[in-house]
Every structure is written in C-alpha cells, then in structure tokens.
Amino acid sequence: MKKNRILFTFLVLAVFFSSCNNKSDEYIDPRGPDYAGSESCIQCHQTQYDMALKSAHFKATAPAISGNVLGDFDEKNHTFIYDKDTKIVMEKRNDSLYQVLYKNGKEVEAHRFEIVFGTKHAQTSVYWRDNNTYELPLSYYNAINSWATSPGFPADKPYFDRKVVRDCYACHSSNISSRNVNQNPDEVNFLSAEVEDVIDKKTIVYGIDCERCHGPAKKHAEFHLKNPHVKVANSIVSYKTLNRQQKLDACALCHSGNDGMKMKSRFDYKLGDNLSEFYRSTRNPNDTTFDVHGNQFRLMSQSKCFIKSEKMDCITCHNPHENASKNLASYSKICMSCHQGLKHNATTLKTMSGSLLANNCVECHMPKKMSNAIKFQISNSKEMSNYILRTHKIGIYPAK
Ligand code: HEC
Ligand code: HEC
Ligand code: HEC
Ligand code: HEC
Ligand code: HEC
Ligand code: HEC
Ligand code: HEC
C-alpha cells in the first residue's frame, strides 16, 4: 500500500515534469529539426505545391472546420434514425459542428467534429476525449450523398467508443506524436497493465505532405536558398535513383493493406528504406481476396502486366502530386504504350467497335469491385450498402 503511494507520487511527478517541458503553446513539428514543412517548398517548387495542395493526399486528414467537412448540417438530410426514440442529428452550433444524440426528443450527448479523414469517396470524423480521438458513429458517403453508419458501426444503436489509434494517422497524416502515459516504465511498472497511449493534440501534421513522401528536406531547402545558382538537387533522396522495389515501397507503405506484421511505426519509414523492415504482409501473394480498399499494391502485383513487364510501378499511371485522373481515356494511352498492335477477338469486338474499345481499357480490365472491408448502413435500413472501388488487378474479366 505504502509502496503504491510512493510509486503514485513518482507518477504524478513524472507527469508534472513532462507537462512542464511541453507547456508552451507554440507549434512543434513532432518530426524534429530536419523537417522544413511544405510551405517552405513553395518558393522553388510552385508547380508541385499547387497540385499537391488540391490532392487527396494533402487532405487525407484536416481540421474539421467548415469548408473541410462534407455533408448536410441544416437541410433535411441531417438526421439518422436508429429507432423510434433514438436519433443522431448533425448540427452546427456557433462555429462548430456536432453529432448530437437525442432520446425521446431530449439531447443526451453531443460530440464535436475535430478531425476529418478523407474527401473522395467517404469522410469519417473523430472527436477528442481524454487525449485520444474517437470515431463519430456517422460518416458521409459521396456515392449516396448522405450520412450513413461509419464502417463497422451498428445501425440499431449509437456507438461512441471506437478509438481511432495512431495507426490510422500513420497512413492518413504526416505525423502525430503519441506517448505512453507510463513514461518511466521502471519506476511505475505496477501500472503497466492499464497503460495507454495518449495522443498529443498539438503535434498533428495534417495530410500527407511533401516530406512524408520525400523525407526530411530542411537541409535541402537551406542549401538551395544559400546556393541559388546550383540547379542539381542537393541533400534529398532522389526517387529517380531508387531501384524498383524501393519505388514500389514508397507507395506500398500505405497502399498494401494493414493486416500483416508491423515491426516499426510507418512514421519512421523514409524514402529509400526497405519496407519489409517496417511492415510485412503475412498473406500468400496469390490470395484472391485482397481488398480493393487500401491494397492497390497487392492487387497490381498479381497482374501479368506487372509481373511480365518487370517495370510497371505506381508512377507508370499516377502523378504522385495529383489525384487519380477522372479521364479514363488518359489511362488507355498508358496501356497502349505497352500494348501496341493489340488485337481483340471477334467476340469482344462485337461488344464495342475498335475505336470505342481503345478508350475503355480500364472499364473492362480494371473493373469496379465491391470492398469486403468497408460496408455501411443508411438510416432506417436493415441492409448493408457496398463501397465500390476499381480493382488494380489488371486482367480479363467476364463481361457484365
Ligand atoms: C531554394 C530553393 C529550394 C527550396 C526551398 C526547396 N527546393 Fe527542392 N529542389 C531545388 C532545386 C534547385 C532542385 C533541383 C532541380 C529540380 O529538380 O527542380 C530541387 C529538387 C527537388 C527534388 C527532386 C530531387 C531529385 O533529384 O529527384 C525534390 C523531391 C525536392 N526538391 C523536394 C523539396 C521539398 C520537399 C522542399 C520543401 C521542404 C524543397 N524541395 C525545397 C530547390 C529548392
Ligand atoms: C503515408 C501514406 C501514403 C503514402 C506514402 C502514399 N499514399 Fe496514396 N493515399 C494515401 C491515403 C490515406 C489516401 C486516401 C486519401 C483520401 O482520400 O483521404 C491515398 C490516396 C491515393 C490516391 C487516390 C487519390 C485520388 O483521390 O484520386 C492515389 C492515386 C494514390 N494515393 C497514389 C499513391 C502513390 C502513387 C504513392 C507513392 C508515390 C502514394 N499514394 C503514397 C496514403 C498514402
Ligand atoms: C495501411 C494504411 C491505412 C490505414 C492504417 C488506414 N487507412 Fe484509411 N485509407 C488508406 C488508403 C490507401 C485509402 C484510399 C484508397 C482506398 O480506399 O483504397 C484510405 C481511405 C480512407 C477513407 C476514405 C477516403 C476518401 O477520400 O474517400 C477513410 C474515411 C479512411 N481511410 C479512414 C481511416 C480510418 C478512420 C482509419 C483507422 C481506423 C484508417 N483509415 C486506417 C490507408 C489506410
Ligand atoms: C504521395 C507522395 C508524394 C507527395 C505527397 C509529394 N511528392 Fe514529390 N514526388 C513523389 C514521387 C514518387 C516523385 C517522382 C516522380 C517521377 O519520377 O515521375 C516526386 C517528384 C518530385 C519532384 C521532382 C520533379 C517532378 O515533379 O517529378 C519534386 C521537385 C517534388 N516531387 C516536390 C514535391 C513537393 C514540393 C511536394 C509537396 C508540395 C511533393 N513533392 C509532394 C512523391 C510525392
Ligand atoms: C509497362 C507495360 C504495361 C502497361 C503500362 C500495361 N500492360 Fe498490360 N501487360 C503487359 C505485359 C508485359 C503483359 C503480359 C503479356 C504476355 O503475357 O505476353 C500484359 C498483359 C495484359 C493483359 C492480359 C492479362 C491476362 O491475365 O491474361 C491484359 C488484359 C492487359 N495487359 C491489359 C492492360 C491494360 C488495360 C492496361 C492499362 C490499364 C495495361 N495492360 C497496361 C504490360 C503492360
Ligand atoms: C496501369 C495503370 C495503373 C497503375 C500501374 C496503378 N494505378 Fe492506381 N488507378 C488506375 C486507374 C485507372 C484508377 C481509377 C481512376 C478512376 O476511376 O477515376 C486508379 C485509381 C487509384 C486510386 C483511387 C482509388 C479509387 O477508386 O478512388 C488509388 C488509391 C490508386 N489508384 C493507387 C495506386 C497505387 C498505390 C499504385 C501502385 C501500387 C497504383 N495505383 C498503380 C490505374 C493505375
Ligand atoms: C469491352 C471490353 C474491353 C475493352 C474496352 C478492352 N478489352 Fe482487352 N480484352 C477484353 C476481353 C473480353 C479479352 C479476352 C478476349 C479477347 O482477346 O478478345 C481481352 C483481351 C485483352 C488482352 C489479352 C490479349 C491476349 O492475346 O492475351 C490484352 C493485352 C488487352 N485485352 C488489352 C486491352 C487494352 C490495352 C485495351 C484498351 C486499348 C482493351 N484491352 C480494351 C475486353 C476488353
């Protein structure tokens, strides 16, 4: 008992000292002094910056201020009914947005949108509670222009307790520092069973920024500021000089699923590192059930194009600073750069003329597929709705 009290005093002191160290309110880049921040790249890389600013990568996480949050807050379409007594209403109060739970017409709890994840197909949001973030029970889906249950959330009762852990941020942000509440494990290990990570609110670096992909670039920026006549890049990892696996790893870091073995935090990965020291898929590479959500790398790896060309990577088709093009014909040109003189058989040609076919490679060979990982339910519905993305397994599929 007495021992516990001494240990408790230690803990209080530890917490006190650690909070003294970070008590200033100024912004701290949790990545340390080697990082310059995206804004410092503008003056020399305006083109890349302008593109990236509008990209889904840059917006992968953002503060939930109006303008960043999708969905209706004051129209008809802002209520989700769980049952005749229970509903959640999306509400704007002063400058903040909330999901408010009502039971029999009375407000029970209200949670504020703090950080949003995503913009393209869906957007989910989190609120802060006790130094951690928790997912709000309703998300917005562009395919239905409406609110529906967050993936995996029940549609018969509201649920506010799903913690959004640092792992989510490792793919959706450039950094967030978390620390173990138990900072001095030797002194306070009697608590270890209950120890949890807490997230440091001030340290989040929103979105996937320049240095998340390119690695720390402060030295690079400083060098070129001092040496404006030097036109050859200094002090930065060059993507061009990487081998194929390193190039693939740069994207596979976040685009090869999350069900494998994690050895080190994704945040510690830098361009040129070997991904298998951080994350390794434990599944058979020939598994036919890789999900269209979040696993473009594994699916692409199963394509003959990838295996036989021995050179295809993500950059073959994507500009890393821009969103995926909506113009599918532009991809057909890329397909045809490897598939010149291609001839479809008579049966295929019957479905479409040769000239139409030429613009539609993707529609037939990378068809849209249902995700098994993500499903959702709309208000007052017993049925699951499907989340649909294009597969990256390029192949021959039966006609629809
Ligand atoms: C004072 C000017 C300056 C600033 C600031 C600057 N760069 Fe550069 N950067 C250059 C020059 C010059 C090159 C070489 C020519 C080129 O590729 O554009 C270069 C090249 C690069 C390359 C290509 C490297 C290669 O060889 O493939 C990357 C990536 C890059 N910079 C990233 C950044 C990032 C990220 C920032 C911000 C943190 C940044 N730069 C800030 C001047 C600058
Ligand atoms: C740090 C994690 C991370 C890395 C590294 C990363 N991505 Fe992404 N990428 C994401 C996330 C998260 C999204 C979804 C963003 C959103 O919609 O909110 C995304 C979205 C995309 C999209 C869809 C954009 C759109 O809406 O059209 C493309 C294409 C893409 N990534 C390609 C790449 C390529 C190519 C690379 C490698 C050069 C890469 N990504 C590296 C995490 C990452
Ligand atoms: C291993 C990396 C990874 C992890 C971990 C991860 N995501 Fe994602 N997430 C992605 C990628 C890549 C995409 C976009 C492409 C896709 O759907 O395949 C995405 C898409 C999304 C989208 C849709 C974005 C849009 O613009 O349509 C949301 C919302 C989202 N993730 C939320 C989360 C949340 C919440 C967590 C944690 C519970 C999480 N993600 C964990 C990689 C990841
Ligand atoms: C999703 C990862 C990703 C992000 C985010 C990203 N880049 Fe890049 N960048 C790349 C890759 C991959 C290449 C190599 C492209 C190639 O070789 O075709 C590249 C190439 C470059 C180059 C060389 C010239 C060129 O355009 O190919 C510069 C300069 C550059 N990036 C600067 C930036 C700056 C500045 C930002 C932030 C505003 C940024 N990048 C954000 C992945 C990224
Ligand atoms: C970097 C070159 C390259 C690119 C780009 C490319 N492919 Fe391929 N593709 C190949 C090679 C090589 C093969 C294997 C040919 C063989 O087996 O002889 C192949 C095979 C195929 C096959 C046969 C698949 C099977 O399972 O039998 C289809 C279909 C195909 N490609 C469609 C496409 C489409 C559609 C695109 C564009 C979205 C594309 N390819 C882009 C190189 C490429
Ligand atoms: C052969 C061309 C090709 C290659 C190679 C390729 N992609 Fe794509 N990607 C596409 C096409 C086509 C789309 C769909 C664009 C659309 O529907 O608007 C797409 C869409 C995406 C999306 C958005 C998903 C969605 O439906 O919104 C992500 C994320 C993505 N690609 C990531 C990657 C990553 C990571 C790699 C490398 C592992 C990669 N892609 C390699 C052609 C390619
Ligand atoms: C209407 C759907 C459709 C469109 C559009 C389409 N394909 Fe195909 N493709 C097929 C079918 C079905 C097959 C298998 C039967 C055949 O060869 O006609 C096939 C076969 C192939 C093959 C394998 C041929 C072989 O000899 O093994 C390649 C490569 C290919 N397509 C590439 C492309 C490219 C590149 C484009 C765009 C220029 C394209 N396809 C457009 C449906 C389509």
pLDDT for the residue numbered 382? 85
Nearest-CA residue for ligand 7 atom 28 is 342
Contacts 24+ apart (CB under 8 A), 276-285: 278/253, 279/253, 281/256, 281/257, 283/259
Q: Measured between alpha carbons, how far is 264 from 276 in angstroms, rounded to an integer?
A: 10
Ligand number nearest CA of 334 is 5
pLDDT tens-digit series, residues 66-83 = 899 999 998 788 999 999
pLDDT tens-digit series, residues 312-366 = 999 999 999 999 988 999 999 999 999 998 889 999 989 888 888 889 999 999 9
Cα torsion 328, 329, 333, 338: sign: positive
Residue closest to 154 by CA, chosen among 91, 83, 105: 83
Q: Measured between alpha carbons, how far is 161 from 130 in angstroms, rounded to an integer?
A: 12
Radius of gyration of the chain (CA): 24
Q: Measured between alpha carbons, how far is 257 from 98 in angstroms, rounded to an integer?
A: 31
379, with CB counted inside 10 A (0-12, 13-18, 19+), is: middle
| CA 150 to each of CA 5, 71, 120, 137: distance values in angstroms, whole numbers, following the listed order | 43, 14, 15, 5
Q: Measured between alpha carbons, how far is 252 from 264 in angstroms, rounded to an integer?
A: 15
Does 79 sit in the ligand 7 pocket, CB within 6 Å? Answer: no
Ligand number nearest CA of 218 is 1
pLDDT for the residue numbered 194? 42
| CA 253 to each of CA 38, 100, 245: distance values in angstroms, whole numbers, following the listed order | 20, 36, 12
Q: Mention every residue, 6+ apart, whose C-beta is less than 8 A from residue 278.
A: 253, 262, 263, 264, 265, 266, 268, 269
pLDDT for the residue numbered 263? 94
Residues 215, 217, 219, 220: what is their CA dihedral angle, to the nearest 10 degrees?
Answer: 110
Lowest mean pLDDT among 19-23, 282-286, 386-390: 19-23
Ligand 5 atom at minimum distance from 396 CA: 29
Q: Pairing relation of β-strands 122-129 and 106-112? A: unpaired
pLDDT for the residue numbered 177? 82
pLDDT for the residue numbered 237? 97
pLDDT tens-digit series, residues 186-242 = 444 444 334 457 888 888 999 999 999 999 999 999 999 999 999 999 999 999 999
Could you list the beta-strand ranges (E) of the chain. Answer: 61-63, 79-83, 86-93, 96-103, 106-112, 115-117, 122-129, 132-135, 138-141, 146-149, 163-164, 173-175, 178-180, 197-199, 205-206, 261-262, 279-280, 368-376, 385-390
Higher pLDDT, 266 or 23: 266
pTM for the whole structure:
0.94
Q: Name the percent of the chain in helix, strand, coil, to the closest 5.
A: 30, 20, 45
pLDDT for the residue numbered 97? 97
Query: In the predicted model, what is the mean pLDDT of residues 12-16?
Result: 42
pLDDT tens-digit series, residues 53-70 = 999 999 999 999 989 999
Q: Mention every residue, 6+ apart, whose C-beta is less than 8 A from residue 115.
A: 61, 62, 63, 64, 125, 126, 133, 204, 206
Query: In the predicted model, what is the mean pLDDT of residues 373-383?
Result: 92
Q: Measured between alpha carbons, how far is 340 from 332 in angstroms, rounded to an integer?
A: 11
pLDDT for the residue numbered 182? 53
Q: Measured between alpha carbons, how far is 82 from 71 in angstroms, rounded to an integer?
A: 19
pLDDT for the residue numbered 326? 86
Rounded distance from Cα 250 to ligand 2 centre (Å): 10
Residue closest to 178 by CA, chosen among 168, 190, 188: 168
pLDDT tens-digit series, residues 107-149 = 999 999 999 999 999 999 999 998 899 999 999 999 999 999 9
pLDDT for the residue numbered 189? 40
pLDDT for the residue numbered 30? 75
Element (H, E) at 166: helix 166-172
Residues at CB less than 6 angstroms from ligand 5:
304-305, 308-309, 311-312, 316, 331, 334-335, 337-339, 361-362, 365-366, 394-396
Q: Measured between alpha carbons, how far is 146 from 142 in angstroms, rounded to an integer?
A: 7
Does 329 sit in the ligand 7 pocket, CB within 6 Å? Answer: no
Rounded distance from Cα 321 to ligand 4 centre (Å): 6
What are the structural domain ranges in the chain?
A: 2-18+28-206, 283-390
What residue type is assigned to position 389 of the chain?
A: L
Element (H, E) at 50: helix 46-53
Q: Which of 392, 393, 394 has most ligand 6 atoms within 8 Å of CB, for mutation? A: 392
Q: pLDDT grade, residue 180 (50/70/90)?
A: low
pLDDT tens-digit series, residues 243-301 = 999 999 999 999 999 999 999 999 999 999 999 999 999 999 999 999 999 999 999 99
pLDDT for the residue numbered 321? 97
Residue closest to 72 by CA, chosen among 123, 25, 34, 31: 123
What residue type is assigned to position 148 of the chain?
A: A
Q: Which of 44, 174, 242 has most ligand 1 atoms within 8 Å of CB, for mutation? A: 44
pLDDT for the residue numbered 34? 93
Rounded distance from Cα 57 to ligand 2 centre (Å): 5
pLDDT tens-digit series, residues 155-174 = 999 999 999 988 999 999 99
With 80 as the cut, is the pLDDT of residue 26 above it? Answer: no
Residue 293: DSSP 8-state: S
First-to-final CA distance of the chain? 71
Rounded distance from Cα 234 to ligand 1 centre (Å): 8
